[in-house]
Structure 1
Amino acid sequence: MLRLTQILGQKRIAIAEACLIGLVSGLAAVALKQSVEGLTLWRLHNPIPVWLLLPGLGLVGGAFAGWLGEQCPETAGSGIPQVKAALGYVHSPLNLRVALMKLASTAVALGSGLSLGRQGPTVQIGAALAAQLSDWVPTSPEYRRQLISAGAAAGLAAGFNAPISGVLFVVEELLQDFSGLTLGTAILASFVGAVVSRLLGGQGLNLSGMGLTQTGLSVQDLPFLALLGVLAGVLGSLFSRGIFTSLRLFRRWQRLRLAFRVGLAGGITGLVGVGLSVAAQDNTGLREFLVTGDATWQVIAIAFISKFFLTLLAYGSGASGGIFAPALVLGSALGCLVSFLAQATHGWLGFPTDTLASGNTTTYALTGMGAFFSATTRVPITAIVIVFEMTTNFNLVLPLMIGSGLACLVADRVTTGSLYNGLLAFKGIHLNPAPSENNPWAHLTAADLMQRRVETLTATMSIPEALDAFARSHHRGFPVLTQGKLVGIVTQTDLAEVPQTRTAAYTVADFMTPRPVTVAPEAPLPQVLYLLNRLKVSRLPVTDGSKLVGIITRGDIIRAESEKISGQSSGRMATSTPSYGIYRTRSPALGQGRLLVPLADPDTAPLLLSMAAAIAHQNQYELECVHIVRIPPDLQPSEATVDLKLGKRLLIQAEALAEEQGLCLHTQIRVGHDVARALLEVVNTRHIDLVLMGWRRHPITPGRILGSVVDTLLRQAPCPVMVVRPGETDRYERWLVPMAGGPNAPMALSLLPALVKLAHQPMVCLCSVVLDPAQVETMQPQLQSAATALEARLGFPVKTRILRTTPVAEAIVHLSRQDHSDVVFLGASREGLFSQMLHGNVPLEVSHDSPAMVILLRQNILAEPSGD
């Protein structure tokens, strides 16, 4: 998709997508229209006796339509609530399967005689087809939403042959978004959908070809049009209430299959059609019959009552079908009845009744259509435009404004709220009145989706080395660092410009893009998407000042959207209540990294702070000290009253040490339900490079290794974690460092020079425990090489020992006692010793059986590297 966008341009791609959505939505609407009309003609012109055909076809066809609905429950009802849920950022399946099943079940239900319409289903079909397109061509979550809205608009436009109405309904009811891209895409899709429907499906509901353009309005009609608006508002709101009453009644029969319920509704509709022929007509024919004004008021009243209750029956059963067309029929019948009243009153008062502008039945019927539609759906503007587009008669605009406006006002007084919001609430889905508040993406930042482990290159790296890095990685670009600061970004395209005969003569700095565009961790997701599209890049570095803290790519955003749609989660976005900061101090950010020290125990705080200070001096780290106050789950962190005495006393110790040694220190106190979760929040939001925490020798919870807080940090923190369990003395002279290979051992050795400065006359011993004597020849050179490198940094000899014994823990404890070790530094990997810790009890045995201080270092080697 990115390459296609680069070739054709974003606007051209949007135009092509809108045209394609309009085309397929129009074709689907035509297919549904012709299917329904074909089945209806067969039903009404069949040699089988009516008393047998109508009930039998209603029963069998309704049962089959219900069976189709059982195969795809998302097709129940009109489908508009499901589309509104999807546009309101609620998980609602929309795909090709939903579109096809909706088309089939609606055609069968309406062809069987159920009193429902096909225009609502075309909205869901168009939206589902657009959603499938967005799945085939992945895009941003917000643009996917706009494509779905364009599909919904095209579906309604194709159903009514009314392109403007399709756009207005989406804007007025579904999307409530007036952005240029949304309107442009929806307008174009609606236009194409309506054109396809009109060319292939005929005029459909267009009434301009019926010779009904003779409409008019006189002053004496105004009171009756107002009366029509009031009646439509009352009856339309009762119709809406009746829908929920019918749904509740059928809900009591949940033990019965959907096929039986829909079949029962179809059978009852057929029986009524046998006795009342007007009830057996389809919506289009009945509407034309009423608008002409040829029927008597008794027939029209029967048509209104029968259509009213049969529609409620059909919709409550769960059949696939909409209420747009029935609402228009009911409105036209109501308008006819009011026109008869107006004519009788005009005659009684002596007004002329044989003129065009006095109680004209067509004017009242069409006005009633808009008024009842407005009262039912609460979209008055769409109601006015739909009738206007069907008639193309400007004389109807004023009557429609009077009737639809009053109907909507009265309906709001009788029953408040949107019909479709109510239908969603009936299913347990509650949309926030402000659409943006439902949007999980609106509150996401770059830090929520970025990859925190970033592979980088240095500016001084040679081009051959950089090419090797690209060959070993699947990335197409790398950030470039100099002394830990971001100075550029280099891509495969950049290196393609290097002369092949002189690659060794250049470095990455010669071909990188200097001063790349970056985003801050708190940058909102819409800003990130804007920059990715504007710059036509696939990745953006995330920086905190000049420090690179992550990278965010299009792949990260699409992967998060995919997890949302599939109902899965990567764990990046926590769903529990976040902790709340109640105290904070900040110093200038002068370091090249940050070391987090959680302070909870006054006895271990001095030890942790002294170690942290030593590491911070060596690595030029800033210190971040935090105290977490845990509260019960029933309290909100932002509302809890807590005691800050302990936290402030611990932080004062840290401030005194930082001032004495000239360190940069940040402090904070947070309130939360879970200490580990709160610490992980600090690690992520403050972009911590190393965590140093204490471990007290308490009874161990079953299933835990070192305790819940420590275990969680060891497993989930995106940075290295060092855990310290104090020994029986405060000495740091003799250090025992067991090694088993893997990525943690080198880091342990890199921290040793800082930590041994706490001792006066330090002694270091590197040891390895082997289970197979044959491993000695392999391990001895590795151990000696590590010792030699460490000696160069420490300035004194380093001993090495290889132990051929089992079990591992006993060997380490025995050696620590034999050498009178003060500190045991377990720098172990998951593949080696740490794997045994997870499945055994090495750290527990060492801590329980050895009087020495125990330090455990663990890197998060399970996190996936960044990529696009």
Structure 2
Amino acid sequence: MKNLEKTLKSIVENPKYIFRLSVQGVMVGIFAGLMVCLYRFLLSESEHILRNYLTIIQTNVVYIVLFFVFLAVLGLLIDWITKWEVDSSGSGIPQVYAEVKGHMEANWAKVLFSKIVTGVMTALGGLSLGPEGPSVQIGGMAGKGVARLFKGSKTDELRLILVGSAVGITAAFNAPLAGVLFVMEEINHGFDKTLIFIALVSAIVSDFISKSIFGQSTVLTFPINNIPLENYWILIVLGIVIGVIGYVYNIGMIKSSDFVNSLKIPSQLKFVAVFIISGVVALTIPQISDGGHFMMDMLGVAIPSLGVLVLLLVLKYLFSMFSFSSGAPGGIFLPILVLGAYIGAIFGSVVVPALGMGHVLIYKFIVISMAGFFAATVRSPITGIVLIAEMCGSTESLVAMIIVSLIAYVVPTILGNEPIYESLYDRLLLNKNREFVKKPSKHVLSEYVVPLDCDYINFKIKDIPFPKNAIVVSVIRNGKYIIPTEDFNIKYSDQVQILTDVNDYPYVREEIEELFGG
């Protein structure tokens, strides 16, 4: 028993092991950071190319015809690449989620190449898809590449995939804390001190690289004034409004994706049609094209009229729903933030004059609503609050964002709506083309925190129906490693470490999360 305890401590507390993980974290920060920054740069240039081209083809019939021929070719190329590497389609976050849960085994090099190339194509085509979901997948696959270079354990490989995913958010938004929190809150759904340590190391390195390339200025530069305390009640109304709209957003995105998947349309024809329609939108309503940078920049210049704000919000939502349901590579992260910003702009345009507040306070509602809409759709309120705070470079709106985010989180939850990424993950696993491939036998050490509402608190280990193909090897309680016997009682906040084979890991994890209410 003492030998096993020493072995476990040597794995998690050995300075050499921690140093090796730190080196790997630095390498993930460099490699994943460079890959995500490359992706971010290429997307930005692609969007500029599209908008510059749109300004010169308006009255030239030949150029317009060539534009649509180009879009048709892009559609065919997207179809070919997504068949060549099926894991490059869609957002990318559900794919990372499936990989760390053991349901996928992606080819990291193919995904890196195909995700970057197809992302550039969707940007050139003007689809309303964001870069952040793909950035998470690009970072995760870069982390997997580093893990394969070191030839470490499967446990460390899964950790480095998560670390790379944090880099994806960090490099995309210059938001290292939000990147780490997103992985903890949305993907890993657990507290792993070793993972947090490596993720922070990697995030800091990648943030330095990102700021060296794109500058140190914050993503958002809106003026932010304080809402008078006597008007704080309006935040409750805003939270309810955002929660209801978030519910409608999630339902619409999932229903539209299911509808498109039910259609018996050849994929080549589908993607060509999607790109052609996107071209029509770019020519007629260029404001809603691409992920949403243009619409966000509009708010920075001047707040449009209320009618224009409502029209752009509705059209952006419909075009985002159309773009995403096609299955084209790209995410919904940025469109969610843009929609949240416009909800805040509309709300502010109504209540600010009605309550006699200063016009500049509309920007306060824009910032608050971005965090709130993220909480309503993704259901990760802490990440959303920290993300917007880092994007603004200010913590002055924290209390207001917390109030709105908590209410916006509760409303769709009460209505029985699943978080958007969990819904997409469930549909990814239901894909009939995805079959579990048996891998060479390796051990995976996973960690689960016992929550307060767990049904097995104070139960003996022998009385808890753990999966037969899983072994409880240690429990961390109050910072101490304990090798439990069958009569050991599980307590609240215990960190239970379980060893299983990589082939059993997906099913073992699901069963244990069910036991612990995860």
TM-score w.r.t. length of structure 1: 0.47
Counterpart of 2:152 in 1: which secondary structure? coil
Question: What is residue 184 of structure 2 aligned with on the other side?
Answer: 171
Q: Is contact 2:352-2:359 (8 Å) kept?
A: no
Distance in 1, matches of 2:197 and 2:275, equals: 41
Judged with a 3 Å threshold, the aligned counterparts in structure 2 of structure 1 residues 138 and 289 are, in CA distance, closer, same or farther, namely same
Question: What is residue 144 of structure 1 aligned with on the other side?
Answer: 157
Unaligned runs of 5+ in 2: 1-11, 432-441, 447-468, 475-480, 482-498, 508-518
1:75 equivalenced with 2:63 (yes/no)? no
Counterpart of 1:417 in 2: which secondary structure? coil
Question: What is residue 538 of structure 1 aligned with on the other side?
Answer: none
Task: State the AA in 1 paired with 2:57.
Answer: P
1:32 equivalenced with 2:39 (yes/no)? yes
Relative contact order (alpha carbons < 8 A, sep ≥ 6): 1 or 2 greater? 2
Shift of 1:54: 6.4
Q: Is contact 1:117-1:324 (8 Å) kept?
A: yes
1:366 equivalenced with 2:367 (yes/no)? yes
Question: What is residue 99 of structure 1 aligned with on the other side?
Answer: 112
Q: Indicate the structure with greater helix content.
A: 2
Shift of 1:158: 0.9
Counterpart of 1:424 in 2: which secondary structure? helix
Judged with a 3 Å threshold, the aligned counterparts in structure 2 of structure 1 residues 133 and 333 are, in CA distance, closer, same or farther, namely same
Question: What is residue 519 of structure 1 aligned with on the other side?
Answer: none
Question: What is residue 340 of structure 1 aligned with on the other side?
Answer: 349
Q: 1:243 aligns with which of 247, 253, 256?
A: 253
Q: Is contact 1:26-1:197 (8 Å) kept?
A: yes
Q: Is contact 1:66-1:262 (8 Å) kept?
A: yes
Q: 2:19 aligns with which of 9, 12, 33?
A: 12
Question: What is residue 424 of structure 1 aligned with on the other side?
Answer: 425
Judged with a 3 Å threshold, the aligned counterparts in structure 2 of structure 1 residues 262 and 193 are, in CA distance, closer, same or farther, namely farther
| Mean CA deviation greater in 293-302 or 68-77 | 293-302
Distance in 1, matches of 2:470 and 2:351, equals: 63
Q: What aligned pairs does 1:379-458 form with structure 2 within 5 A after superposition?
A: 379-428=380-429, 441=444
Q: Is contact 2:291-2:334 (8 Å) kept?
A: no
Question: What is residue 320 of structure 2 aligned with on the other side?
Answer: 311
Q: Is contact 2:344-2:368 (8 Å) kept?
A: yes
Q: 2:332 aligns with which of 299, 320, 323?
A: 323
Shift of 1:279: 1.7
Q: Is contact 2:287-2:294 (8 Å) kept?
A: no
Output one character per residue of 1:447-474: Cα deviation in whole Å (capped at 9) or x when no partner: xxxxxxxxxxxxxxxxxxxxxxxxxxxx
1:230 equivalenced with 2:243 (yes/no)? no
Q: Is contact 2:154-2:443 (8 Å) kept?
A: no
Q: Is contact 2:243-2:411 (8 Å) kept?
A: yes
Distance in 2, matches of 1:216 and 1:144, equals: 45
Task: State the AA in 1 paired with 2:233.
Answer: P
Shift of 1:129: 1.4
Task: State the AA in 2 paired with 1:225.
Answer: L
Shift of 1:317: 0.5
Q: Is contact 1:66-1:105 (8 Å) kept?
A: no
Distance in 2, matches of 1:83 and 1:253, equals: 27
Output one character per residue of 1:159-205: Cα deviation in whole Å (capped at 9) or x when no partner: 11100000000000100221210110111111212221111133586
Q: Is contact 2:381-2:406 (8 Å) kept?
A: yes
Number of equivalent positions? 439
Output one character per residue of 1:771-818: Cα deviation in whole Å (capped at 9) or x when no partner: xxxxxxxxxxxxxxxxxxxxxxxxxxxxxxxxxxxxxxxxxxxxxxxx
Distance in 1, matches of 2:58 and 2:380, equals: 39
1:217 equivalenced with 2:197 (yes/no)? no
Judged with a 3 Å threshold, the aligned counterparts in structure 2 of structure 1 residues 355 and 361 are, in CA distance, closer, same or farther, namely closer
Question: What is residue 44 of structure 1 aligned with on the other side?
Answer: 51
Distance in 1, matches of 2:256 and 2:387, equals: 27
| Mean CA deviation greater in 93-102 or 45-54 | 45-54
Distance in 1, matches of 2:300 and 2:259, equals: 33
Q: What aligned pairs does 1:536-551 form with structure 2 within 5 A after superposition?
A: none
Output one character per residue of 1:812-865: Cα deviation in whole Å (capped at 9) or x when no partner: xxxxxxxxxxxxxxxxxxxxxxxxxxxxxxxxxxxxxxxxxxxxxxxxxxxxxx
Judged with a 3 Å threshold, the aligned counterparts in structure 2 of structure 1 residues 523 and 233 are, in CA distance, closer, same or farther, namely closer
Task: State the AA in 1 paired with 2:43.
Answer: V
Judged with a 3 Å threshold, the aligned counterparts in structure 2 of structure 1 residues 402 and 256 are, in CA distance, closer, same or farther, namely same
Question: What is residue 513 of structure 2 aligned with on the other side?
Answer: none
Output one character per residue of 1:191-236: Cα deviation in whole Å (capped at 9) or x when no partner: 21222111113358612xx3x2442211354233222221211111
Judged with a 3 Å threshold, the aligned counterparts in structure 2 of structure 1 residues 32 and 203 are, in CA distance, closer, same or farther, namely farther
Q: 1:185 aligns with which of 198, 201, 208?
A: 198
Question: What is residue 131 of structure 1 aligned with on the other side?
Answer: 144
Unaligned runs of 5+ in 1: 431-438, 444-521, 528-533, 535-556, 568-572, 574-868
Distance in 1, matches of 2:258 and 2:392, equals: 37
Counterpart of 1:93 in 2: which secondary structure? coil
Question: What is residue 601 of structure 1 aligned with on the other side?
Answer: none
1:86 equivalenced with 2:99 (yes/no)? yes
Shift of 1:117: 0.5
Output one character per residue of 1:331-378: Cα deviation in whole Å (capped at 9) or x when no partner: 0001000001102322xxxx3x3475xxx1110111111111111110
Question: What is residue 735 of structure 1 aligned with on the other side?
Answer: none
1:121 equivalenced with 2:121 (yes/no)? no
Distance in 1, matches of 2:108 and 2:73, equals: 28
Q: What aligned pairs does 1:349-748 form with structure 2 within 5 A after superposition?
A: 351=356, 353-354=357-358, 360-428=361-429, 441=444, 524=471, 526=473, 561=502
Q: Is contact 1:297-1:337 (8 Å) kept?
A: yes
Q: What is the CA RMSD across the aligned residues, in angstroms?
A: 3.3
TM-score w.r.t. length of structure 2: 0.77
Q: 2:262 aligns with which of 243, 252, 274?
A: 252
Percent identity for Structure 1 against Structure 2: 23
Distance in 2, matches of 1:417 and 1:315, equals: 18
Distance in 2, matches of 1:306 and 1:355, equals: 25
Distance in 2, matches of 1:397 and 1:55, equals: 46
Task: State the AA in 2 paired with 1:49.
Answer: I
